[in-house]
């Protein structure tokens, strides 16, 4: 089955290819779609649907979108749907470091480091049918980065399942327990 992946994030594309080896996956760019879709939803699922519908309508192919992020208990679920734009939207004036540094700063002196990644996936067919699924993975935020693999918040996320950070894990180890792995497996089971 041919699917367009409605994301331009190369890390997500790489992980989705690993997790769904039996599908013929095209990136949005390969399917001729290069617009930036605005993520105006308030939930991961709304944003995944917005992206999958936009790419599906434009390419007339089944479109798969992922919207994901990190939720930190002590921060009331932040950065949440703003995970990718955390420092851009919420850093104090003059901040030049990135998202991970801001997260560490906001958790300075905070004992409760509980956190989870969430991933919502949506598959939209040209005839309008829609399938959705969600996956979560639990852990805690360390006080400094560890490991070089993965992307985003991976070096700060110590996984309950793996007993190491996602950035210390191999791609295979991460995909076996990750929010994205779990969401895509749940979606695959509905196909």
Burial class (CB in 10 A: 0-12, 13-18, 19+), 103: buried
The site string for ligand IMP over 26-45 (x = CB under 6 A, - otherwise) reads: -------------x------
Interaction of residue 23 with ligand IMP, rule CB under 6 A: no
Interaction of residue 158 with ligand IMP, rule CB under 6 A: no
By CB under 6 A, the count of residues binding ligand IMP is 18
Interaction of residue 168 with ligand IMP, rule CB under 6 A: no
Catalytic pick from 22, 36, 67, 160?
67
* Residue 139: both structure tokens together: 């852990």
For the question of residue 160 being annotated catalytic, the response is no
Smallest distance from ligand IMP to CB 93, Å? 22
Interaction of residue 106 with ligand IMP, rule CB under 6 A: no
Closer to ligand IMP at the Cβ: 1 or 96? 96
CA distance 2 to 62: 7
* Residue 92: both structure tokens together: 């104090």
Widest CA span of the chain, in angstroms? 52
Q: For ligand IMP, which residue of 62, 135, 139, 152 counts as binding (CB under 6 A)?
A: 152
Interaction of residue 138 with ligand IMP, rule CB under 6 A: no
**In the range 53-72, which residues lie near ligand IMP by CB under 6 A?**
67-70
Count of Cβ atoms closer than 10 Å to residue 9 Cβ: 16
User: Could you write out the DSSP letters of every residue in 72-84?
Assistant: EGGGTT-BGGGGG
Q: Give phi and psi for 77, each to the nearest 5.
A: 95, -5
Q: Report CA-CA distances (Å) from 136 to 28, 71, 102.
A: 25, 10, 23
Smallest distance from ligand IMP to CB 89, Å? 12
Interface contacts to ligand IMP, rule CB under 6 A: 9, 39, 67-70, 83-84, 99, 117, 150-154, 166, 178, 180
């Amino acid at each position: 089955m041919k699917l367009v992946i409605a994301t331009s994030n190369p890390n997500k594309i790489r992980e989705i290819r690993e997790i769904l080896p039996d599908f013929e996956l095209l990136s949005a760019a390969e399917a001729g779609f290069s617009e930036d879709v605005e993520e105006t939803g308030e939930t991961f699922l709304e944003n995944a649907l917005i992206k999958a519908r936009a790419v599906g309508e434009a390419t007339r192919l089944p479109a798969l979108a992922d919207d994901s992020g990190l939720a930190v208990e002590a921060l009331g679920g932040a950065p949440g749907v703003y995970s990718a734009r955390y420092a851009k939207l919420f850093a104090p004036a003059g901040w030049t470091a990135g998202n991970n540094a801001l997260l560490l700063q906001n958790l300075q002196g905070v004992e409760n480091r509980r956190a989870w990644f969430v991933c919502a996936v949506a598959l939209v067919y040209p005839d309008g049918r829609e399938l959705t699924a969600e996956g979560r993975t639990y852990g805690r935020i360390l006080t400094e980065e560890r490991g070089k693999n993965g992307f985003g918040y991976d070096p700060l996320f110590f996984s309950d399942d793996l007993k190491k950070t996602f950035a210390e894990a191999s791609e295979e180890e991460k995909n076996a327990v990750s929010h994205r792995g779990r969401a895509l497996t749940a979606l695959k089971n509905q196909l």
